[in-house]
Amino acid sequence: MIVRLMGEGQLDVAADELSSLNTLDDELEAAIESGDETLFRAALHALLDNVRKVGKPLPADSLAPSELILPPADAHIDEVRSMLGDEGLIPD
């Protein structure tokens, strides 16, 4: 799966990594629902850090379409809330 980290570029994330990313996505959703900014910030950073860890960067000139777009690390809680779909940021 090709993932775009807004402001950072694209990464190729293997399908077998999606389960752990979905767990982090669930934690992010819970943090957003709670409205706790500190919890939200920690959950967002954990998700993005994990994507960076498991993903393989694509060349800057790659034209591969992104299947998933994640917000930047400094995104506001309301911005991320508006990006959430029925399945969070990362579909099951």
Q: Which helix (H) or strand (E) holds 4?
A: strand 2-5
Q: Which helix (H) or strand (E) holds 1?
A: none
- What per-residue confidence (pLDDT) applies to 33? 94
Evaluate if residue 86 carries a pLDDT over 80: no
**pTM of the entire structure?**
0.91
How do residues 32-77 score in pLDDT, each as one tens digit? 999 999 999 999 999 999 999 999 999 988 888 999 999 999 999 9
Mean pLDDT value across the chain = 93
**Residues 87, 90: Cα–Cα separation, whole Å:** 7
- Confidence at residue 84, expressed as pLDDT on a 0 to 100 scale: 83
